[in-house]
Amino acid sequence: MNNSSWRNQYPVLVTEAQTIGSIGVIRSLGRSGYPVHACSSEPDALGFMSNFAHVSAVCPSYRSPQFLPWLRNYIHSNGILAIIPSESMLLALRPAFSEFAHLLPMSQDESIVYRGLSKIDLFSSLLKGVDHSDIGSHLPSTIFVDHFESIPSINQLRQLGEPLFIKTDGLYSKNGERGIVYKATNAEKAH
């Protein structure tokens, strides 16, 4: 009996089929014998062309009110037993996380999953009860800014050293944007 034959009974939905990371997941799972359903809101997603994609599915944008109904229907109609999500998809699933948690290969605890997606929440939880005088030897200089605080001064930014990397937090996005990293060559540009 082929060792991978049991895997063909476990359809897996792999999201963001247009990304290099997801193409690797599609290939790996498909090569192992899982029926892979490659999904993307981009109809020309490269992962759709993979020989290891059992099915290619164009989904609505994660921002669309049609996304969650589409996902529910797709899972039911295709017997999906696991979802390999992206950060963007996890953000879209947040209002209904408990409904889909059993399909995700990660913690079923919503607070743990979303804390891991938030740079601010993750660092805050890691730094609780820690002697901050020793942090500099383990972490680069950092300033946390949320939308309720004022922006650091150019002088404060200069003290961090250059170049500066500004990381946005998709979890706290006002308009559903994903987290992005910007490189600023100096404090003035960062400001």
Sign of CA dihedral 52, 54, 60, 63: negative
pLDDT at 121: 75
pLDDT under 70: residue ranges of the chain: 1-4, 129-139, 147-149, 170-171, 173-178
pLDDT at 22: 97
pLDDT at 4: 60
